[in-house]
Amino acid sequence: MKKTLYNIAGTVALLLGIVGIFLPLVPTTPFIILASACYMRGSGRMHLWLINQRHLGPYLRRYHEGRGIPLRIKITALACMWTSLTVSIWVVPLMWVKILLAGVGVGVTVYLLRVRTLDPSELHVDQISRE
C-alpha cells in the first residue's frame, strides 16, 4: 500500500513537472526531483526509467550525484515560484494562508540556494559524454 501511494505521488509530481515545462508559473525542477524521490521509494523500475529518461535524466543524475543544479534553472525556478506566490498571496483573503504560502516560499528558496550550483564546465562534459 505504501509503495502504491509513493508511485501515485511520483506520477502526480511528474505530471506537474511536465506541465511546468510548458507553463511558466509552474516550477519543473522541484516536481521532477519529488517524482524521483517518490519513485525511488515506490518503484525501482520507474525510478530507473526517470533518471535514464533522455530529457529529464541528466538533471536528475547531476542532482543525485551531488553535482548541483545549473544557475539558470535555479533563477528560473525562484522567479516563477515567487511570481506565482506573490499573486497567490495578493489574491487569497485569509491571513494564515498568506503566511503559509510565504513560509513555503522562504523554505524552498533557502533549499535551492543551499543546493550546490553546477559549474558550467560540468554541463559541457555531460553533453560531450552523451554524444
> Using one digit for the tens of pLDDT, what is the confidence trace for 34-75?
899 999 999 989 999 999 988 888 878 888 888 888 888 888
Angle of helix 44-51 relative to helix 2-22, nearest 10 degrees?
20
Q: Any idea which residue has 503566511 for its cell?
A: 99
Burial environment of residue 37 by CB neighbours within 10 A (0 to 12, 13 to 18, 19 or more):
middle
User: Which segment of 3-7, 23-27, 31-35, 114-118 scores lowest on mean pLDDT?
Assistant: 23-27
In this prediction the pTM is: 0.64
Phi, psi of 8 (to 5 degrees): -65, -45
Q: What residues make up the domain containing 27?
A: 2-130
Domain count for the chain = 1
Cβ(8)–Cβ(35) below 8 Å: no
